[in-house]
Structure 1
Amino acid sequence: MAYRMRYNNYNNNEANRQSNYMGARVSEELCHNKQKHVHELQGSVKIADEDDPHNHRFCTVTEEAIPICDDDHVHEVCFRTDFFDNHFHEFKGRTGPAIKVGDHHVHCIESVTSENDGHHHAFEVATLINDPLKKDEKHECCHDHPWDRTR
């Protein structure tokens, strides 16, 4: 499983293509020139730890669309929260399927972070709309969505 790339520089050398900031191996198929759509994702986790109540914030960009059944898709998501009181949390998982919003769509995630400093945090978040300036959305990953057929 590959996660969001974070390169030290943007030259296309072998070392940069082979690992990302979390240390996961990156397959050659991810190093292509045409990108399928992605979504921005930002939010806060719920307050946790009764002895030291606090929360964390996060911001990331999803991986490219992954086709699933019924002409739909999901996205891989990986993030680290901000740092609070000598700890942070991580999340690695997938969004839910696309949810239509006008001519565009969003995805939701309801999950929990990793356990660090003796606790984890629950969170619920929706991605931002993909490519908000584009008027007629067609997904490269899935070709037509059922809602595209009605126009």
Structure 2
Amino acid sequence: MNIISASKGKQTHVHEFLGSTQFAEKGKERHNHRFAGVTGEAIPIGKGSHIHEFRTNTDFTVNHYHVLKGKTGPEIELPDGHHIHYADVVTSFDDGHRHRAEFATLIVPRG
């Protein structure tokens, strides 16, 4: 995966994202993590559609963190002309477990 490389040519666009993982473990160890980041630039996938790659770390809680990385799905058009992307991934395996995370990116501001 060519994660989040800056373009030397014409830049396209990126999306912010944030969320919380699903809970993992049981009892006193049961917990989740928060995350936030910015995707890489648009990656064309044909027929005028595109996806984005992303990579970020979760927060540090219960003495560990996880890496969250993957690719979004194709754009989801909104009625106002903006678009978002959906992602559903599993974190890295750390401290004996993983977390599932699903989120929608934020819209790209116009200006």
TM-score by length of 2: 0.90
The answer on whether the counterparts of 2:22 and 2:32 sit within 8 Å (CA) in structure 1 is yes
* Structure 1: stretches of 5+ with no match in the other structure: 5-25, 135-151
Q: Kindly report structure 1 stretches of 4+ aligned residues shifted beyond 6 Å.
A: none
CA root-mean-square deviation: 1.5
Structure of greater relative contact order (alpha carbons < 8 Å, 6+ residues apart): 2
Amino acid at match of 1:124: E
Q: Specify whether residues 87 and 63 from structure 1 end up closer, same or farther in structure 2 by C-alpha distance, changes over 3 A only.
A: same
* Structure 2: stretches of 5+ with no match in the other structure: none
Q: Could you say which residue in structure 1 is the equivalent of 2:96?
A: 118
Amino acid at match of 1:39: H
Richer in strand (by share): 2
TM-score by length of 1: 0.67
Distance 2:59 2:34 in 1: 6
Cα offset for 1:128?
A: 0.1
In the alignment, does 2:66 pair up with 1:66? no
Q: Could you say which residue in structure 2 is the equivalent of 1:3?
A: 3
Identity of aligned residues (%): 48
Distance 2:101 2:71 in 1: 14
In the alignment, does 2:71 pair up with 1:56? no
| Structure with greater Cα Rg | 1
Q: Could you say which residue in structure 2 is the equivalent of 1:89?
A: 66
Q: Could you say which residue in structure 2 is the equivalent of 1:143?
A: none
The answer on whether the counterparts of 2:69 and 2:89 sit within 8 Å (CA) in structure 1 is no
Richer in helix (by share): 1
